Amino acid sequence: MVVFTVSSTYTIFPFLEVIVMTKRVKKCGAFPDYMLSEFLRSPSGGISLSPASVDVTLSDEIYRLARYTLPRSGEKVREMLPLFGATKHSLSMQFELGVSYLIPLKEKIRLPKGVYGWANPKSSTGRTDFHVQLISDGSSRFDGIPDGFQGETFCIVTPNSFAGIFSYGESLSQVRVFNQDTRFSQQELEKEWEKNPLFLRMDGTPIAFDELVVSDNDGSVLMTIDIPKSGLIGYKARLTRNIFDFSRRDYRIEDWFEPIYGDGTGILELEPGRFYILYTKQQICVPDHLAAEMSPMSARNGEFRSHYAGFFDPGFCGTITLEVRSPISFALRDDQPVGEVRFERVLAIPKKPYGLAGHNYQGQIGPKMSKHFLEP
């Protein structure tokens, strides 16, 4: 069993008393909700927590970028502003289509040694095609927050389908914190599957482990796409000059997306560069002691991106909304593999698993739009 060593310098993190009975801790994985607030400091004092992640929010300092790249080890992001061709921008101005913007986060992230983080875009950004990445001082990985991090973290926002307007304190990304990589091996996946129905059919009946037709045998589960021969398949983003206000909750779907219906073939041809909202044929059901993540793309599945916001909190259950874009003409057929899901452990069961507090996407079936839209 993996051991996480804690020194006396961590007394500034009082939550560790919950899990640290001695100086050697044997629980490993992602930190749950009630432990996460100790890693962030916000000038407003409020922190928005999910079962195994914490929201990070935009400050009012914004730079329009001509280009961007990752910092090297020891390099601060602010030192790279000349390289980025950064010019001052304002929240009162629109974020232009196809242009990237750099925004420092309001929150200060402070991690002790032996603790690191990863970020994921929120579902609301992925489903509206705003590409969101985090970069951190000294981290040469997008969305990565290094072990023992004490620097500054920034959000990069790139509107892909719609120009946008954002507000101070808007949350576009969420951070997860770990003390160990606990993603399942193939053997661990099979053992967990025997105890809990991790995937369901559309009618709610469990899918058995031995029913997996295609597998990479690496602890991941291949999700397949649902393209019915009739009825609603999903949505395609319209080509529009309208500006998407991220604070609104009353948009009509048809003003921003066009519906796609089955034509009797069970095939959908992706137009190069266009953005689609689709969904998986399976429901994923994440037990309260686990979390899950879906990889955004894999050359084994095809030259297309299937997901932007790929994190699933403990307690989530429903079909997976796919946020799809391909650089080439590519045909998707019903039940074709589109992405891999990996499960991982959390240190302790969250106080509020997903769904208990009325989360927007719990129980979703079919192509579910973001919270900005009225229900169809």
Give catalytic residues, as residue numbers. Answer: 323
Of the candidates 50, 180, 56, 174, which has an alpha carbon nearest to the alpha carbon of residue 115? 180
Spatial distance between the Cα atoms of 165 and 347, rounded to a whole number of angstroms: 37
302 sits in the region (left: phi over 0; alpha: psi -120 to 50; else beta) called: left
Q: How distant, in Å, are the alpha carbons of 89, 108, 260 from that of 278?
A: 34, 36, 10
- Asked whether the beta carbons of 74 and 51 are under 8 A apart, the reply is no
Note every long-range contact of 133-137, with CB atoms under 8 Å and residues 24 or more positions apart, other chains counting: 134/56, 134/105, 134/173, 134/175, 135/68, 135/70, 135/71, 135/77, 136/71, 136/77, 136/109, 137/71, 137/75, 137/76, 137/77
Helix (H, G, I), strand (E, B) or coil at 246: coil
Alpha-helical runs (H) found in 72-212:
81-84, 123-126, 186-195
Q: Look-up: residue for tokens 């948009």? A: 251
Helix (H, G, I), strand (E, B) or coil at 301: coil
Cβ pair 147, 114 in contact under 8 A: yes
Classify 150 as helix, strand or coil: coil
> Which strands sit side by side in the sheet containing 290-294, from one edge to the other?
220-224, 337-345, 290-294, 311-312
Token reading at 108? 């200060």
d(CA 361, CA 364): 6
